[in-house]
């Protein structure tokens, strides 16, 4: 997990550099990510609540 968290910012920087060269693609991908997050947010919250509940039990 530690390796993944360290590698994440590097991957993000690379992704930003790549997407910076395609302005129309970034706007499309950003809107898609926003839609994806709004759709998955309740599902993720539900899973987190379940995990917390099962840890307590």
Helical H segments across the chain, by residue range: 2-20, 23-56
Contact between 51 and 44 (Cβ < 8 Å): no
Q: What is the rounded distance in angstroms from the CA atom of residue 28 to the CA atom of residue 11?
A: 20
Identify the band that residue 43 occupies on the pLDDT scale cut at 50, 70 and 90: confident
Q: What is the pLDDT of residue 41?
A: 86
For residue 21, the model assigns a pLDDT of 63
What does the angle CA 44 – CA 19 – CA 4 come to, to the nearest 5 degrees? 50
Tens of pLDDT, residues 28-38? 788 888 888 88
CB 21 within 8 A of CB 29: no
């Amino acid at each position: 997990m530690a390796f993944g968290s360290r590698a994440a910012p590097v991957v993000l920087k690379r992704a930003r550099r790549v997407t910076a060269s395609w302005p129309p693609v970034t706007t499309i991908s950003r809107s898609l990510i926003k839609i994806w997050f709004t759709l998955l947010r309740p599902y993720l919250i539900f899973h987190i609540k379940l995990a917390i509940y099962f840890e307590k039990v």
